Structures are given as C-alpha cells and as structure tokens.
Structure 1
Amino acid sequence: MKYVIAIIKPHKLDEVREALAAIGVAGMMASEVKGFGRQKGQTEIYRGAEYATNMVPKVKVEVALPDSLADRAVEAIQQAANTGSIGDGKIFVLDLQSALRIRTGETGETAL
C-alpha cells in the first residue's frame, strides 16, 4: 500500500478530485495549509498598501492506495494540478505499513 501526499494550488482541488475519481480512487482527504518553497512567499496589496507574505495558501491532498493504483494516481494528480507556473506543488509517495477500517475491523487493502 502507498500513501500519496500532494501539495497543490487551491483552485486545482476539484480537478484533482475528478482525476482521482476517474481512475477509481474511492476517497481522499483535503486540508487547507500554508507553506513556501521556491516561491519564498508572495506580495499582496491590501487597502492600497503592498506587503509581503512568507506563507502561501495551498491544499494538501492525502490518499491511501493499493500499490496497483499508486503510479496512476501520481500521474493523474500531476496532470490535473499542473498549471506550468511556479508554485504548482509537490507530490510525495510513502509506503503505508497498515490500514484498519474502524467500523468493520478490516485490515490491509480491504480497509481502503
């Protein structure tokens, strides 16, 4: 099993969700987060005054998957989240040791 974490631009969330659903991903989690990478923040204008923010709003998408879907999910996220500009985000793939569905007690891939 794999655990895929993607940090994307907020306006790309619906496209990523649709792309994952199209390849058969049954569920995902999304959280609003802030951070920075190579962008080093951004400049904004508020009430006529320009100021720099060092944390950029992003969305963190998390998906637990069977190994057979992981590569396709990463490709789907990359294609759906890509705008071609700086700050498109990152995708991390981690090995997932175990999963347990609380309601039924199912474990492993059947719990996903």
Structure 2
Amino acid sequence: MKKIEAIIRKSKLEDVRDALHEIEVNFFTYWEVSGIGNEKKSPVYRDVNYNTHDIARYNVSIVVTDDFVEETINVILEHAYTGEVGDGKIFVIPIEEAYRIRTIENGKSSL
C-alpha cells in the first residue's frame, strides 16, 4: 500500500475529486495548507507581481494498493495541471499496514 500526498491548487480540488471518483477512489482526506515554494521570480499579470506561495492550496491524502498508485498519480497530474508556477507536488509514501476500526479488517480489505 502507498499513501499519496498531493498539494494542489484550491481551484483544482473539484476537478481532481471528480476524476478520482471516476476511477473509484472514493475515500480521501484533504485540508487547507499554505507554504513557500522555490520560485525565483513572482509571476506578473497586468503589471502586478503575484506571490505564488500565497495561492490557496489543499493537501490531498489518499491510500491505495500498490497496483493502483500509477493510475491515481496520473489522474492527479492530469486534473491538477494548469501549466503555471505553483501547480503543486505529489509525494508517494509506503504504508506498512492499515486497519478499518469498525470491522477490524486490515491490509487491502481495510481500504
């Protein structure tokens, strides 16, 4: 199992959520985050500088089986993309075990 952490633009959450539901990823958590990126220069729009670290973002956390990691990542990449600085990051983290509290199931069946 793997945990996929994706930091995406707030404006792209609905697109990502709907696309994840289409591939039957029906459970994930998300929360608002802020941070500082590694941009060297702020983008300019109509002679106004914008700090891209001030763009509202969500951290989306998903746990999937190993055989579903690539498909999940591809969906996030496709639907979170704008082509602009600050689109976000995806991290893949190994999960040793998972449990469903209500039924005490563990492993793949807990997902």
Normalization by structure 1: what TM-score? 0.84
Gaps of 5+ in 2: 44-48
The RMSD of aligned alpha carbons is 2.3
Higher strand fraction (1 or 2): 1
Contact 1:41–1:54 under 8 Å retained in 2: no
Paired-residue identity, % = 38
CA spacing shift, 1:82–1:104, aligned 2, 3 Å:
same
Deviations 1:42-63 (A, max 9, x none): 69xxxxxx9x796543100000
Residue 20 of structure 1 and its aligned partner are, at CA, apart by 0.8
Aligned length: 106
Residue 84 of structure 1 and its aligned partner are, at CA, apart by 0.4
Deviant stretches of 4+, over 6 Å: 40-43
Gaps of 5+ in 1: 44-49
Normalization by structure 2: what TM-score? 0.85
Residue 105 of structure 1 and its aligned partner are, at CA, apart by 0.2
What code does the residue aligned with 1:106 have? Answer: E
CA spacing shift, 1:53–1:10, aligned 2, 3 Å:
closer
> For the residues of structure 1 that align with 2:92 and 2:6, how far apart are their CA atoms?
9
